[in-house]
Amino acid sequence: MIKKKECVAMLLAGGQGSRLYLLTQRVAKPAVSFGSKYRIIDFTLSNCINSGIDTVGVLTQYQPLALNEYIGNGQPWDLDRTFGGVMVLPPYQGQKRADWYKGTANAIYQNLHFLDKYDPDYVVVLSGDHIYKMDYSAMVDYHKRMGAACTIAVIDVPLSEASRFGIMNTYEDNRVYEFEEKPKQPKSTKASMGVYVFSKKELYKYLIADEADENSEKDFGKNIIPAMLGAGEKLYAYPFTGYWKDVGTIDSLWEANMDLLGDRPALNLNNSSWRIFARHSSNPPHFLGNGATVENSLVTGGCEIYGTVINSVLSSGVKVAKGAVVKDSVIMRDCVISENAEVNYCIMDSDTVVGVNAKVGEPMELGKGISLIGFGLDIKAGTVIPGGVKADEAFLAELEGSTEEV
Amino acid sequence: MATVVGIIFSNIHDKNVSELTRRRTMASVPFGCRYRLIDFTLSNLVNSGITHVGVVTHYNYQSLMDHIGTGKDWDLARRSGGIKILPPFITAFANSQNSLVNTRLEALKSMVEFISSCKEEYVILSDCDVICNMDLSEMINAHIQNGSDITVAVKRMYLTHDVKNVEIVESDGDGRIIDVSDANGIVTGYRDINLNIMVMRRQYLMNLLMDASAHGYSSFTKDVIAKNLDTCDFRVYRYDSYFAGINSLTDYYMCNMDLLSSSARDSLFNVKNRPVYTKIRNSSPTIYEEGCNVKNSLIADGCEIYGTVENSILFRGVKVGKNTVIKNSILMQDTLIGENVSLNCVITDKDVVIRDGRVLSGHETRPFFIDKLTVV
């Protein structure tokens, strides 16, 4: 082989994301819309290309159609390359067997022949469901400097929340001596971000050994890392400071969207030196009509706003008619909020139409929680959808039935 | 379907808006928040299935090349066909003599080489400043059906005394052209205006160019068309949807402001299956801050707005500071407006900085233009 890549990224994008409920009924979690014009996976893919990693395998399994279509040939991220680029790696039928990916480690194991093709020195393993901007090349440099077998990126979390994460217990020099998954009594606040750098030799060795172990769950956190620690390999924690958020739940997805707002947003997208790339759909500029009031919000191409939008994130092509109010909400592509309708504290999936005078969700102050509104719904005029519910077609049918009875 | 190659003239009418074309071609004049003028022609071609396009350039075409890049944003990065920039054909022996004559002939020569190397049967010639969303395949079919030598797109428009720089096309009941003349400010009322989009057989164009070069012709309409009205069959193709041409800076201003009406936006941008493509800049979404007040304005991505914006067009990456009031203005890419600024009927070119507290105003009949990279 004449050609090789120093570094190849493997992006785990097969998870269902069941805690996003309606949002992941039709698409995998990495393909869920985020921050007005992005999908969750854009952040990881953009991090790769901005870090100089131009070979990325995307491991898909759950509802891959939208994700495959979105990634395409990788052109939006400059990942259409003659050697390397982005490759979607679904489970496949082999000569001897056909298997779904049984865990994160197994997913990589089943694609070792993909890695062989590029003969990388280092393999970066990533998850496709986090929002952050990170320079992986600095982490790879750190990995080299430490002579590590594996380096795990960690972020400092408040001690009170540490028991929700995988926690790395380290010596002074960041060498990891213990890994605890969601510990009841956390000994440190270094939470794993799900970003790993492996030296190729060790990665192959432990993946192959793990595959042979029938009792293993084939998971990086549960099996591979503990096995490496047990064998005395050099594992280092790479401390990351900056914005990082797991958007695995409705609440955290909403919060992460809100983190983009304000005078000094927690996550600033408007930075030309670390751009987040996304696939575009040729939307015209957005228009704000005479009666429009838009404050503390994100708006993008194709939107037409004649009503009021406050503390909200609007994706492309959203229409807000005269007299309509959208507050504290995340509205995805091509939704229509008709005249005098009210939308409060919601995450609304794309292509849903809210009829005139309808009331969707309840104000955040009332504490009923976020209302989750499904894809492509036709919410009839005057419908009232309470706070904190998950509204899909069945829910709407039931709601309609119950009002008829009254 | 007939095979067609498109040719766009990128420097045509440059002098109409000399303020904007001092550093760029007419084709790369910014328009409508995120577009360059050529985007409309390119999108029309691509949306009509024409994927082989030559762009004729004369001078100042760096910004155009930067905009077009490989052409992939219009799906024109192709193995066969795709977009080709046709720079002036200047030989080592040229430039010492009468440069104007030389350039004209040489531009023609470079075009001839491109056209003769094409395989397509038909060619469509278009100016770069035709702001419309037009189904060109319909026009090509009309041309094939009427069997004429050249078909010219026209639109019936109302001429006032101050409309200049347009051509009036007169035709008989069959649509055959009987006269072509310049609007002179005397003729008023409804007339058919030449949209400067023409279809003909490629071979016919080759012959025309050879003939024009032999006779020393320079104007397509006044020489080639006007002198052959009796012997050749030239027809009109009537187009009646939205069209804007730019004949002056005031025109440029009004055409941009047109986009604040939903009917103009609908017939330009919201035509089914016919989006307008442009170079993708990957700007972040526009962020509206607390206390901002934006009304009746068209705004691109990447802006950050703290102040008041009314009846205005904001391009990508514009920042508007606190307590600033922008009215009836066009702010191009990356314009930076400080705090307590007041602007009315102002056009800022790219990368202009307006410092805190400045008050600037033009009038809608004479907008105040601020050149690229100026700091006020």
Residue A18 neighbours by CB distance under 10 Å: 11
What DSSP string describes A286-310? Answer: EEE-TT-EEESEEE-TT-EE-SEEE
The pTM score is 0.93
Chain B, nearest residue to A283 by Cα: B275
Among B269, B302, B325, the domain-final residue is B269
**Joined tokens for residue B83:** 């977009």
pLDDT at B107: 62
Backbone angles phi, psi at B43, to 5 degrees: -65, -40
Give the pLDDT confidence of B276-309 residue by residue, as tens digits: 999 999 999 999 999 999 999 999 999 999 999 9
* Interface-testing mutation among A79, A133, A299, A319, with chain B (most B C-beta atoms within 10 A): A299
SS3 A207: helix
Which chain A residues touch B296 with a CB distance below 8 Å? 288-290
Are B192 and B298 members of one domain? no
Residue at a domain's end among B269, B300, B330: B269
Which residues, other chains included, contact A157 with Cβ-Cβ below 8 Å and sequence gap of 6+? A164, A165, A189, A191
For residue A227, what is the enclosing H or E element? helix A225-230
Reference B317, options B331, B297, B296; nearest CA is B331
The Cα of A263 is separated from the nearest Cα of chain B by a number of Å equal to: 7
Same domain? For B296 and B257 the reply is no
Residues recorded for chain A: 406
CATH of the domain at B355: 2.160.10.10
Residue B124 lies in a domain: yes
Helix axes A40-50, A64-71, angle to 10 degrees: 40
Residue B158: domain span: 4-269
Residue A214: is its pLDDT beyond 80?
Answer: yes
Q: Taking residues A163-185, what's their average pLDDT?
A: 93
Compare CB distances from A285 to B34, B291, B292 and report the shortest one's residue. Answer: B34
What pLDDT does B101 receive? 42
| A297 contacts B288 by C-beta, under 8 angstroms | yes
pLDDT at position A376 is 95
Q: CB neighbours of B60 closer than 8 A, spacing ≥ 6?
A: B11, B14, B21, B23, B24, B25
The three-class DSSP label of residue A335 is coil
Based on the domain organization, do B297 and B263 belong to the same domain? Answer: no
Quick check: B282 and A297 CB within 8 A?
no
* Any B CB within 8 A of A73 CB: no
DSSP A393: H
Three-class secondary structure of residue A109 per DSSP: helix
Q: Which of A111, A10, A15 is nearest to A62 (CA)?
A: A15
Question: Which contacts (CB < 8 Å, 24+ apart) does range A333-340 have?
Answer: A333/A33, A334/A302, A337/A307, A338/A381, A339/A307
Q: Looking at the complex, report in whole angstroms how far the Cα of residue B311 sits from the nearest Cα belonging to chain A.
A: 9
Bridge partners for B9 per DSSP: B56, B127
**A55-to-A80, A87, A288, B12, B282 alpha-carbon distances in Å:** 9, 8, 41, 44, 21
Instruction: For residue A298, give the nearest of B277, B287, B294 by CB distance.
Output: B287
* Cα distance between residue B12 and residue B127, in whole Å: 7
> Is the separation of the CB atoms in A206 and A228 below 8 Å?
yes
Question: Which residues in B lie closer than 8 A to residue A75 (C-beta atoms)?
Answer: 72
The answer to whether residue B135 sits within a structural domain is yes
Q: Which residues of A touch B76 (CB under 8 A)?
A: none
Residue A199 has a pLDDT of 97
**How far is Cα A107 from Cα A101, in angstroms, rounded to an integer?**
5
Residues B211 and B337 in one domain: no
Strands (E), A160-292: 166-170, 176-181, 190-199, 235-239, 244-246, 286-288
Q: Which tokens go with B48?
A: 């009509």
Instruction: Name every chain B residue with its beta carbon within 8 A of the beta carbon of A39.
Output: none
| Tokens 């939208």 found at | A66
Kind and range of the H or E run holding A106:
helix A104-109
Look at residue B275 and tell me if it is in a domain: no
**Count of domains forming chain B:** 2
Give the residues across from B53 on adjacent strands: B6, B83
In terms of domains, do B200 and B349 share one? Answer: no
Cβ of B299 within 8 Å of Cβ of A287? The answer is: yes
Q: Shortest Cα distance from B339 to chain A (angstroms)?
A: 15
- Residues ≥6 apart with Cβ < 8 Å to B5: B50, B52, B53, B54, B81, B115, B118, B120, B122, B123, B124, B202
Question: Of B224, B240, B269, which residue is a domain's last?
Answer: B269
Regions of chain B with pLDDT less than 50? 98-102
| Distance (Å, whole) CA A151 – CA B162 | 72
- Which residues have CB under 8 Å from B306's CB, separation 6+? B289, B291, B292, B320, B321, B322, B324, B339
Pairwise CA distance, residues A357 & A367, whole Å: 23
Are B202 and B327 in a shared domain?
no
A294 with B288: Cβ contact below 8 A: yes
Using an 8 Å CB-CB cutoff, list chain B residues near A263: 289-290
Q: Which residue of B78, B265, B286 is the best one to mutate when testing the A interface, meaning the one whose CB has the most A CBs within 10 A?
A: B286
Q: Are B253 and B334 in a shared domain?
A: no
**Paired residues of B194 in beta bridges:** B154
Classify residue B281: in a domain, yes or no. no
Are the Cβ atoms of B284 and A276 closer than 8 angstroms? yes
Query: Is residue B279 assigned to a domain?
Result: no
B128 and B246 housed in the same domain = yes
- Binned at pLDDT 50, 70 and 90, residue A271 comes out as confident
Q: Are residues B251 and B351 in the same domain?
A: no
A29 to chain B, any CB pair closer than 8 A? The answer is no
User: What is the per-residue burial (b if ≥16 Cβ within 10 Å, else e) of A60-75?
Assistant: bbbbbeebeebbeebb
DSSP A19: G
Q: Any bridge partners for residue B343, and if so which?
A: B326, B360
Same domain for B176 and B94, yes or no, is yes
Indicate the Cα dihedral angle B197, B202, B208, B210, nearest 10°: 130
**Under 8 Å between Cβ of A90 and A62:** no
Show residues of chain A in contact with B293, CB under 8 Å: 293
Six-digit token pair at A278?
A: 């996304």
To 5 degrees, how large is the angle CA B38–CA A282–CA B11?
5
Q: What is the enclosing helix (H) or strand (E) of A48?
A: helix A40-50
Same domain, B36 and B88: yes
Tell me the three state secondary structure of residue B248: coil
Residue B319 lies in a domain: yes
- Are residue B298 and residue B177 in the same domain, yes or no? no
The reply to whether residue B262 touches residue A299, judged by beta carbons under 8 angstroms, is no
Chain B positions touching chain A (beta carbons under 8 Å)? 32-34, 72, 260, 262, 265, 268-270, 275-278, 280, 282-302, 304
* Minimum Cα–Cα distance from B31: chain A residue: A285
Count of CB contacts below 8 A, A vs B? 102
**What are the φ and ψ backbone dihedral angles of B176, each rounded to 5 degrees?**
-80, 130
A37 touches chain B (CB under 8 A): yes
Any idea of the CA torsion for B339, B342, B346, B351, to the nearest 10 degrees?
-10
Supply the ipTM of this predicted assembly: 0.92
Rounded CA-CA distance A119/B93 in Å is 54
**Other beta carbons less than 10 A from residue A266's beta carbon:** 14
Nearest Cα of chain A lies from the Cα of B201 at a distance, in angstroms, of 32
Q: B353 burial class (0-12, 13-18, 19+ CB within 10 angstroms)?
A: middle
> Which token pair is A212?
């042979």
B79: CATH: 3.90.550.10
Q: How confident is the model at residue A283, as a pLDDT?
A: 94
- CB-based contact A160:A247 (threshold 8 Å): no
Q: Whole-angstrom Cα distance, residue A239 to residue A257? A: 24
Residue at B219 is within a domain: yes
**Cβ atoms within 10 Å, residue B234:** 24
The answer, yes or no, to whether residue A352 has pLDDT greater than 50, is: yes
Establish if B262 belongs to a structural domain. yes
- Between CA A341 and CA A273 the distance in angstroms is 40
